[in-house]
Structure 1
């Protein structure tokens, strides 16, 4: 049996808490939007260079990749953190609040970056592993279709910096600080957008019989879409269909020519994803045709399902239980939110974990959200121990 003191322990980071807190709060006070992470990337790269990493900047935009090889081991592991912020005006009242108007770290990427930096410093200082460590600081996780994961992959991430498996984490409001949640298989949803334009025939509101009212068609469609999940998806599966926007008309006495809807679809299975799309298209066309209208449908596929591989998730859970005790590690429920970490997992085995951010934490993307500093040392120790255990001789 491997001795516990052969790998990083939580106590190894006790004297680093103040330093990690200072780093996290600096990043929090200086947020940058997706594809604009110039200073954040520079801050990260400078620290990694000072610790002795081989650092490559500008990968897929503002991405930073740091590598450290120790010994002659052939195994290689990658750990990823995201760096970008959101276009939200902060309302936390913290003395380290965002200094950039209208931009804040409302999703905890400041914390994700900090815990990986904390692990990076420890691993460079102790070098108790045998193999190649790859640290990925990713831009633009929040950017949707132009996300940083896709851009880094397109820029040759896997070819330029080969590794065997990849791990990442996200903070989890609602779970106690410093706890860890894992789940094998699907953990976060695919997210697709469907934009629909109902084309009718405009006219005077007092003479509806001379028109084809696109608002009536749109309203019928909204109601019918509620049946997609409840009547056309296997009840043992999970899916969400939400009409997020509906726009039509400018004047109370005018029936407009068209109405526009935008729908978000969240699923955890490819067959369910395809079935939901097909049913929405069929319902849209049928309802429009039934009212004499026409429909234009644009399907915009979003991030795929985040699917954790079994072996890597079991390994990560073992590491977490060794670090903080099995009583502080739990199985994560399915999360209908999406994550571009899914693209990495389409190419490499790995696992995406959740790190507790506090039972009373504000929700993600809230103007009152803040990353829990009490989780910093747990996150840093987790990554350090996981890297050492994965690259153990």
Structure 2
């Protein structure tokens, strides 16, 4: 099996890179992935893989049926891009202004297509069914595309026993894989606060109810939620990232708008933090004779691995890349829509090391100069295949 796997992977290795570069040149934003979806469908057709469409508008489900078995493994890749103007100078940079695959979803899609090709060649030796889930709108938090795909029936006919996903990770050397037993990435909630006071002349603040002063105190007070209300060993973040107030220097504005995000791992902490958020905001507003209008939106849940499948993912990665390929990694509070799949189905989400050879030139995810080491693409493709083979074997043994 391993020899055949390597043979088929070698056949498609250059096409994986070519697919990634094509997708990188023609990125599409969340819920607009029309041509990306058509490209995926054409490749699945070329590979002889049956598929269904129409999930979350542009989502695609590839179906690879092996030998008789009721066991089903799903592999997922996200397909959307970000509203960023690319600043790289490669010959395959984005051709669409202000749209860029700065989060590596082009690589995820290319690797899953490559894995589909290999698994299709091996289907007579696979006991079970493998689903290829191409998900749109991962970047469209807080709604996203995972929940919509499930509501649209992506798993109505084929319900997975386990689901795997992976994300390129420029913070890890190529040839390594990050596997977490439980927490991988955080819940990502968002908020908008409008503090409404009474405007007035800058020289006569006693005649106004200054919403700017209230906002200043609120920004400071909200930071005490984490520092003074949660266990110091529990990781959470409250970030004010947008502030809009006033138009000219000599007028006290009538209102101030604050926006930001809240990141947590555990549901009970998530609810406690949210409750304290409302209390502090309303109390600060009242203290300064202003009114607070709060929009608090629950976003993606935390991405929490199933321990038994994380263990299998670690074993599969070590089988491919060696025993030292899975160094311990701290989880991240970045959000990931894959958490919604794991909320309903057991599985694991891993990080694929894609760091450039020259680490000084490596930029982070969501950066206009983001690049990845394409040497990692065949590795990630093989990981997808190995996850499917090993998981089906385990399910059949059980």
Q: How high is the TM-score relative to the length of structure 1?
A: 0.95
Match of 1:76 in 2: 72
Match of 2:315 in 1: 318
2:89 maps to which of 87, 93, 98: 93
Aligned pairs (5 A) from 1:213-362:
213-358=210-355, 360=359, 361-362=362-363
CA offset digits 1:285-311 (Å, max 9, x no partner): 111111222211111111110011111
Contact 2:8–2:121 at 8 Å: present in 1 too? Answer: no
Structure 1: distance between partners of 2:189 and 2:337:
13
Structure 1: distance between partners of 2:83 and 2:2:
44
Quote the RMSD (CA, aligned, Å). Answer: 1.6
Structure 2: distance between partners of 1:5 and 1:133:
18
Please say if 1:372 is aligned against 2:373. yes
Structure 1: distance between partners of 2:229 and 2:95:
48
Structure 2: distance between partners of 1:164 and 1:49:
26
Structure 2: distance between partners of 1:156 and 1:17:
32
Match of 1:385 in 2: 386
Q: Once the 2 structures are TM-superposed, how far is the Cα of residue 7 of structure 1 from its aligned partner?
A: 7.7
Q: Once the 2 structures are TM-superposed, how far is the Cα of residue 12 of structure 1 from its aligned partner?
A: 5.6
Q: Once the 2 structures are TM-superposed, how far is the Cα of residue 16 of structure 1 from its aligned partner?
A: 3.5
Structure 2: distance between partners of 1:295 and 1:386:
49
CA offset digits 1:12-43 (Å, max 9, x no partner): 63454322211111111111111111111111
Q: Once the 2 structures are TM-superposed, how far is the Cα of residue 367 of structure 1 from its aligned partner?
A: 0.6
Structure 2: distance between partners of 1:67 and 1:76:
10
Match of 1:51 in 2: 47
Q: Once the 2 structures are TM-superposed, how far is the Cα of residue 336 of structure 1 from its aligned partner?
A: 1.2
Q: Once the 2 structures are TM-superposed, how far is the Cα of residue 115 of structure 1 from its aligned partner?
A: 0.8
Structure 2: distance between partners of 1:23 and 1:158:
26
Structure 2: distance between partners of 1:363 and 1:133:
32
Match of 1:109 in 2: 105
Structure 2: distance between partners of 1:142 and 1:178:
26
Structure 2: distance between partners of 1:313 and 1:7:
25
Q: Secondary structure at the match of 2:351?
A: strand
Contact 2:164–2:387 at 8 Å: present in 1 too? Answer: no
Q: Gaps spanning 5+ residues in structure 2: where?
A: none
Q: Once the 2 structures are TM-superposed, how far is the Cα of residue 241 of structure 1 from its aligned partner?
A: 0.7
Structure 1: distance between partners of 2:363 and 2:306:
30
2:15 maps to which of 16, 19, 30: 19
Structure 2: distance between partners of 1:278 and 1:145:
19
Contact 1:7–1:389 at 8 Å: present in 2 too? Answer: no
Structure 1: distance between partners of 2:24 and 2:292:
45
Structure 2: distance between partners of 1:5 and 1:202:
72
Contact 1:239–1:266 at 8 Å: present in 2 too? Answer: yes
